């Protein structure tokens, strides 16, 4: 009856990151940090988990002398997010 929810996406911060990335081509770390209100350390850990799962690609480079981390959602991430939303809807359709 209830479909399983992806534990990678079933975290408030990781879900917020994925939601942000769905609406843009890419986003830098600072933008994501500001939009989510997360600390740099926590956000970094959560982005690493999304990257390990193959849901997000991370590019690290320097702009001038400053480091710049850019994140993009992958096709696998889009599909996982869509499935997560679909499965979550199964919880909302429970008849009493």
pLDDT tens track for 51-84:
999 999 999 999 889 889 999 999 999 999 999 9
Q: What residue ranges define each of the domains in the chain, with the CATH number in brackets?
A: 12-80 (1.10.10.10)
Summarize the chain as % helix, strand, coil (round to 5): 50, 20, 30
Q: What is the pLDDT of residues 33-59, one digit of tens each?
A: 999 999 999 999 999 999 999 999 999
Beta pairing partners, 11: none
Res. 23: pLDDT tops 90: yes
On the question of pLDDT at 93 being above 90, the answer is no
- For the chain, what is the total number of helices (H) and then of strands (E)? 4, 3
Specify the pLDDT at position 95. Answer: 61
Q: 31 pLDDT exceeds 80? A: yes
pLDDT band for position 30 (50/70/90)? very high
Q: Write down the pLDDT at residue 94.
A: 62
H/E segment holding residue 48: helix 40-52
Asked if residue 7 has pLDDT above 90, the reply is yes
pLDDT at 68: 92
């Amino acid at each position: 009856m209830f479909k399983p929810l992806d534990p990678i996406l079933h975290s408030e911060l990781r879900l917020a990151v994925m939601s942000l990335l769905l609406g843009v081509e890419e986003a830098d770390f600072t933008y994501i940090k500001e939009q989510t209100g997360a600390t740099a350390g926590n956000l970094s850990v959560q982005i690493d988990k999304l990257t390990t799962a193959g849901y997000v690609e991370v590019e690290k480079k320097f702009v001038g002398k400053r480091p710049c981390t850019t994140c993009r959602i992958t096709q696998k991430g889009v599909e996982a997010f869509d499935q997560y939303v679909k499965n979550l809807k199964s919880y909302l359709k429970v008849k009493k």
